[in-house]
Amino acid sequence: MKFPLSWLKYHLETDATLEEICDAMTMAGLEIEDVDNPADKFGKFTVAYVTEAVQHPDADKLRVCTVETVDGTKQIVCGAPNARTGMRAVFAPLGAYIPGLDFSLDKKPRKIRGIESHGMMCSAKELELGEDHDGIIDLDGDWPVGTPAVEALGQDDPVIDFEVTPNRPDWLGVRGIARDLAATGIGKIKLHDIESIPGTFPCPVDIKLDWDEACPVFAGRVIRGVKNVASPAWLQNALTSIGLRPINALADITNLISYDRCRPLHVYDVAKLSGPIRARRGAGEGDKFEALDGKEYTPAESMCVIADDARCLGFGGVMGGEYSGCGNDTTDVFLESAWFAPLITRATAKATGIESDAKYRFERGVDPASVVDGIEQASRLILDICGGEASEISVAGTVPTAPADIEFPLAEVKRLTGLDLPRAEIIRILSTLGFTPSGDGDVLTVGVPTWRMDCSQKADLVEEVARIHGFDKLDATSLSRPPVRRKAVATTMQIRARFARRALAGRGYGEAVTWSFCRKPEADLFGGHGDGLALENPISSELDVMRPTPLIHLLKAVQANADRGQGDSWLFEVGPAYVSDDTQGQRLVVSAVRRITSDRHWTGSREPDVFDIKADAMAALEAVGAPVGSLQIAAEAREWWHPGRSGVMRLGPKNSMAEFGEIHPRVLKSLDVDGRVLAFEIVLDAIPKPRKATGLKARSPLERADLTPVKRDFAFVIDKSVPADVLLRAAKGADKAMVSAVSIFDVYDGKGVPEGQSSLAVEVTLQPREKTLTDEEIDGICAKVVAKVNAATGGALRT
């Protein structure tokens, strides 16, 4: 909402400076967005008097002027044809910035055809005050030399733009702003009683309200014999200053009142009306009409229209129709001042896409008590500017009930704000804002003004009191520390996320944060987006569903970095993956990617493989407290992984917590990612919750076997379809008390090993506990290992 300072001062008596007014607005909650103060632009320009203008000796088109300026007498060479002795002009000193030319004058006088010029006299265009560049500004009036040019040019009216919060429609009228400012103590509201204009004849237009809910009250009056002339300069200037285009007197007057009092009005050409005026529901096709924006609309039943017997004349409170609008030849007008319900107005505007000043006000809530005042105010202006004769005012329906009184315990102010305010100050603030506090006790009964429908309870009044008294006076008080012992506040998942991040960053991965949404075909590569997770209004088609995995953006980022010439990038993200739209449908996952590229190094180049990414995945799992030792590894990763070089890590067939491996080359191709990429993804939610800490944090006693471990090597030939993991587990489980470690130190599948099988060389470590093992005992355990492995894998010792 924009307004010029002069308009505010029409309502507010104040000596405050522009800066003080802006500060007062800010501190009362009217947030300044912009102040356009011409004085900032024209500060250096002043009125000068040309005592003599003579022909330049060496140039036909130039004159040499002797000029009285704020800095004394100056010689100025001027090319304007209208430069003459005895004129008053706008003087720009040396060094001044000329806005219309976008350059600054030299700081030293310049010689023009041999004669020094000490400054410049400006045209309207050079000051950005119009297109006139035929000559310099020739000021009317007897302005003393040195008068600021803003004043002489009538430009000394700053325009303030501020944010109107949705709860305060009354700020959409300048008078509402003045009222709040008066309460802050910066000035006094001027009275401006609204004059009641008696009608000389009954209102000839009948008003019928067929839909009370949408339009409960509608006042109208006819003014006949008007001349719809162009508005006077003051009215045109007022509208121009807030960015509105003057049209004709009738339209301009309604616009003025809309911005002055937040009271939208509408005028109809009586010659174009037939029968009574109705506010009713839209009737579809039959109501089709052309609105003032030149577009055709078909009012639905949910929309409120104003219509007569012949046609629909417009949307109530949103926009009028072209047909009944007032032109230059209009002589009799019907003036509408009604109240339209916010929700219905808003729904109509949303459905039609219409934006208008009226709609903006009605959807927020116009003062329902301003219906008659609005007509009277407009009538006065119409009679003054357009002439004519007013009818009586006809009011249909009843003004909606005023907001209810609020029982307001004075102690509420202190309870909610800590401010200890005297009773008189509370009453003063409420009264200046238009509230009517009454009562002698600790609880006031506060009447709420009709324009403050946002106030319905105690807290609303506390806000008014605190806001006007000043939030700067709130006493900043630190919260008391809780009396109980401070516990760690992070949740298990937050702790897991922290540890996973640090484990991966420590292994060389850079943490990324990527979009939660992705493109649908990308989601389809990773099992598709979950139920209910397609956006209705995506910001772009690139981001139209919720991502099933962060891998999508990480993989694309690997390519984007390569495209920027950044070579190999190792990236990870700890973030959400979306499964469904219910409260349990979001997973916290750790995803990491790196490309398979061979590094060139003098010690020999090396290419990472699936076991590198598996090691990274296991390190992250270890860091977050997953039972890494009990995890099964199976080659059963889903379809976006390389079928032969990927796996899942799980506790049981259904409890998968991670996938790792190479991404399927077809998926990479669809994402336009070159080469091969290694990745893993851990679902943090799938990791079993740690057992609840029970009291002490003391560890169990350390058991250390002092006896020397015994190592035995085996070579098993097993089918390639059997995972080595099965062999390891079998060997380890052969004698849980004795077998402390099993490792594979060679895998061979060449000559001497049957086709389709591999020879796995295994080292088994036995840890004697109480006494040294005898050869027989060792042989016994080894036999158990062989038998267990055979049973689990079908493999036998290599012979």
Partner 1 sequence: MTDTANLDTLESDVLEQIGATTDEAGLDAVRVAAIGKKGSVSLLMRGLGKMTPKERQVMGPALNGLKTRLGDAITARKEALESAALDAALVSERVDVSLPVRPTPTGSLHPITQVMEELAVIFADMGFAVAEGTDVEDDFHNFTALNFPEGHPARDTQDTFFMKPDADGNRKVLRTHTSPVQIRTMMSEEPPIRIIAPGRVYRCDWDQTHTPMFHQVEGLVIDKETHMGHLKGTLLDFLAAFFETDKVEARFRPHHFPFTEPSAEMDVRYERVGQAVKVGSGTEWMEILGCGMVHPNVIRNCGLDPDVYQGFAFGMGVDRLAMLKYGAPDLRDFFNSDKRWLAHYGFSPLLQANMATGLS
What residues numbered 363-422 form the site for partner 1, per CB under 8 A?
363-364, 414-419
SS3 assignment for 644-701: EEEEEEECCCCCEEEEEEEECHHHHHHCCCCCCEEEEEEEHHHCCCCCCCCCCCCCCC
Distance CA 186, CA 264 (A): 29
* Residue (107 or 486) nearer to partner 1, CB: 486
Task: Look up residue 115 and give its two tokens.
Answer: 């004669």
Q: Determine contact, residues 28/184, Cβ cutoff 8 Å.
A: yes
Query: Which of 298, 586, 740, 767 touches partner 1 by CB under 8 A?
Result: 586
The reply on whether position 471 binds partner 1 by CB under 8 A is yes
Distance CA 381, CA 639 (A): 77
Stretch that binds partner 1, among 331-339, 527-535, 678-686, 765-773 (CB under 8 A): 527-535
Q: Determine contact, residues 190/179, Cβ cutoff 8 Å.
A: no
Task: Look up residue 382 and give its two tokens.
Answer: 């119409």
Helices 423-432/458-469 angle, 10° precision: 90
Residues in region 320-349 near partner 1 by CB under 8 A: 342-343, 346-347
The reply on whether position 274 binds partner 1 by CB under 8 A is no
What mask of x and - would describe binding to partner 1 in positions 285 to 324, judged by CB under 8 A? ----------------------------------------
From residue 285, alpha-carbon distances to 289, 293, 346, 348 in Å are: 9, 19, 21, 16
* Residue (189 or 571) nearer to partner 1, CB: 571
Task: Report how many residues bind partner 1 under the rule CB under 8 A.
Answer: 96
* Residue (560 or 596) nearer to partner 1, CB: 560
Give the sheet arrangement for strand 2-4, strand by strand: 2-4, 159-163, 31-36
The reply on whether position 516 binds partner 1 by CB under 8 A is yes
Query: Which of 578, 640, 714, 716 touches partner 1 by CB under 8 A?
Result: 578
Stretch that binds partner 1, among 61-69, 222-230, 322-330, 569-577 (CB under 8 A): 569-577
Residues in region 21-80 near partner 1 by CB under 8 A: 26-29, 31
* Residue (154 or 418) nearer to partner 1, CB: 418
Stretch that binds partner 1, among 44-52, 370-378, 399-407, 473-481 (CB under 8 A): 473-481
Distance CA 700, CA 228 (A): 97
The reply on whether position 463 binds partner 1 by CB under 8 A is yes
* Residue (294 or 604) nearer to partner 1, CB: 604
SS3 assignment for 595-606: ECCCECCCCCCE
* Residue (570 or 716) nearer to partner 1, CB: 570
Distance CA 752, CA 749 (A): 8
The reply on whether position 507 binds partner 1 by CB under 8 A is yes
* Residue (582 or 719) nearer to partner 1, CB: 582
Residues in region 533-552 near partner 1 by CB under 8 A: 533-539, 543, 546
Task: Look up residue 488 and give its two tokens.
Answer: 């760690």
Query: Which of 479, 693, 698, 702 touches partner 1 by CB under 8 A?
Result: 479
The reply on whether position 478 binds partner 1 by CB under 8 A is yes
Question: Residue for token digits 């060139």?
Answer: 600
The reply on whether position 260 binds partner 1 by CB under 8 A is no
Distance CA 647, CA 660 (A): 6
What is the phi/psi pair of residue 574, to 5°?
A: -110, 105
What is the phi/psi pair of residue 14, to 5°?
A: -155, 150
What is the phi/psi pair of residue 338, to 5°?
A: -130, 180
Query: Which of 601, 692, 697, 704 touches partner 1 by CB under 8 A?
Result: 601
Residues in region 712-731 near partner 1 by CB under 8 A: none
The reply on whether position 147 binds partner 1 by CB under 8 A is no
Residues in region 630-659 near partner 1 by CB under 8 A: none
Query: Which of 144, 154, 327, 508 touches partner 1 by CB under 8 A?
Result: 508
Smallest gap from Cβ 397 to partner 1, in A, equals 22
The reply on whether position 108 binds partner 1 by CB under 8 A is no
Task: Look up residue 515 and give its two tokens.
Answer: 């979009």
Residues in region 726-765 near partner 1 by CB under 8 A: none
Residue 109 CA to chain centroid, in angstroms? 51
Which of 794, 775, 774 lies closest to 720, judged by CA? 794
Task: Look up residue 716 and give its two tokens.
Answer: 């098993």
Residues in region 148-187 near partner 1 by CB under 8 A: 165-168
Smallest gap from Cβ 95 to partner 1, in A, equals 25
What mask of x and - would describe binding to partner 1 in positions 186 to 225, judged by CB under 8 A? ----------------------------------------
Task: Look up residue 174 and give its two tokens.
Answer: 């300048």
The reply on whether position 675 binds partner 1 by CB under 8 A is no
From residue 291, alpha-carbon distances to 322, 358, 542 in Å are: 5, 14, 37
